[in-house]
Structure 1
Amino acid sequence: MDERRTVKVSKYLSKHLRHQPERIGLTLDENGWVAVEELLRAAARHGFAFSRAELDHVVAANDKRRFTVESGMGSGVQGGIEGDRIRANQGHTVAVDLDLPPAEPPVYLYHGTVARAMEAIRTEGLRPMARHHVHLSPDRETATRVGARRGRPLVLTVDAGAMHRAGHVFRVSANGVWLADAVPPRFLRLRG
């Protein structure tokens, strides 16, 4: 599968498993899962057919590990390709409960952003905006790549340890993205 096709299928999956499943007639379950065969049929019906082999390639090859495929019995392998249902690991704008347990975060987490967002961040902190959670990275490099998607990146350091001690709840998705409901400004620091 060539790189352009891989990216195209990945973007299609993100759009319909995170944001607009109804657009192709999908209904995600309460935890964001949908049957792989149902997804393949819906995509084909709406003019974007791809094979199970292509789907498996996208899931396995995605460097951000955006999707998980598992059996309906819950024995999935992160980034694995065996199973009969699929979901996006995080980033939903549709109502789903990923059913992730609370987790103790590392002392510091990171968030990539751009300069034009800093005024609001300084006064309001990090908010989930249209998503369910604020996404935090476990390392500066990942946060830099995330911020670079919108321009010249700035990386904020999140004092996750202090937040956790103050009672804020963290969860970690299957692909290692840390999730929080919000990050108040007092727990943020911009490092050059």
Structure 2
Amino acid sequence: MPRDSRFLTLILRHRPDLIGIELDKAGWADIGQLLRALKRHGRSLSRTQLEEIVFADNKTRFTVSPDGTRIRAAQGHSLPLDLGLSPMLPPVTLYHGTARHSLDAIFAEGLLPGRRQFVHLSKDVVTAVTVGARHGKAVVLTVNCAAMAAEGHAFVRADNGVWLTSAVPARFLGFAPT
């Protein structure tokens, strides 16, 4: 099932074209069309299996619409989408996990979204450590969100609780105590 979850993440965040589907402007895919397209491309899943992937995902990567007919990735898109998330006042401090080898670039340029639409920020250090460890020796940075918001930087919170912003200038970064 992890293999199916990773493939579903790829499709719903970055490459719906791999199976010949289109996401709407908010990133939604019709579940019936998605399941048929997966089957045509040798990745057959039942509705029950899809639901198991969605609800077993400990990172809550996927959101199913309230009527149960559509699915989308909660965040992490490289596609230009409007998730329809309203700006919110963030907590005073959020966290960003990264690899030690990225620190020079981060403190020179700030946190940039790279190939994704937004910079992702965690509400706690534990989550940030997990994220940072995917890229090498983990380091957790603090983000002074109160100061950023006071300067007009916008924040939104994805369906899964991950905080998103367009970029974090280096002057708002520090190191989390570990």
TM value normalised by structure 2: 0.97
Displacement of 1:172: 0.2
Q: Which residue of 2 aligns with 1:166?
A: 151
1:23 aligns with 2:8: no
* RMSD between aligned residues: 0.9
- Partner of 2:111: helix, strand, or coil? coil
Structure 1 residue 33: Cα displacement? 0.3
Which residue does the alignment assign to 2:35?
40
Q: How does 1:5-16 map to 2 (within 5 A)?
A: 5=1, 7-16=2-11
Distance 1:180 1:95 in 2: 14
Q: Distance in 2 between matches of 1:42 and 1:91?
A: 22
Where does residue 92 of structure 1 map in the other structure? Answer: 77
Task: Return the alpha-carbon distance in structure 2 between the equivalents of residues 44 and 55 of structure 1.
Answer: 12
* 2:97 is equivalent to residue 112 of structure 1: yes
Q: Secondary structure at the match of 1:63?
A: coil
Structure 1 stretches of at least 4 aligned residues deviating more than 3 Å after TM superposition: none
Shift of 1:153: 0.4
Letter in 1 for 2:36: R
Deviation at 1:150, TM superposition (A): 1.2
Distance 2:63 2:77 in 1: 14
Q: What is the CA deviation profile of residues 97-155 of structure 1, one whole-angstrom value per residue up to 9, with x for unaligned ones?
A: 10100000000000000111111101100000000000000000100000011111000
Instruction: Report the count of equivalent residues.
Output: 177
Shift in Å, 1:23: 1.2
TM-aligned CA deviation for residue 170 of structure 1: 0.3
Equivalent AA in structure 2 for residue 64 of structure 1: K
Q: CA deviation at 1:191?
A: 3.0
Aligned match of 2:141? 156
Q: Distance in 1 between matches of 2:99 and 2:112?
A: 15
**Residue number among 45, 61, 68 corresponding to 1:83 in the alignment:** 68
Structure 1: gaps (5+ residues)? 71-75, 77-81
| Structure 2, unaligned runs of 5 or more | none
Deviation at 1:35, TM superposition (A): 0.4
Q: Aligned partners of 1:24, 1:147: CA distance in 2, in Å?
A: 30
The answer for the alignment partner of 2:120 in structure 1 is 135
In the alignment, the residues of structure 2 paired with residue 52 and residue 41 of structure 1 have an alpha-carbon distance, to the nearest angstrom, of 10
What is the alpha-carbon distance in structure 2 between the residues aligned to residue 69 and residue 184 of structure 1?
Answer: 33
Paired-residue identity, %: 50
1:183 and 2:168 are equivalent in the alignment: yes
The letter of the residue matching 1:38 is Q
Specify which of 52, 60, 64 is matched with residue 65 of structure 1: 60
Partner of 1:79: none
Report the secondary structure of 2:108's partner residue.
helix
Taking the aligned partners of 1:187 and 1:21, their CA distance within structure 2 comes to: 35
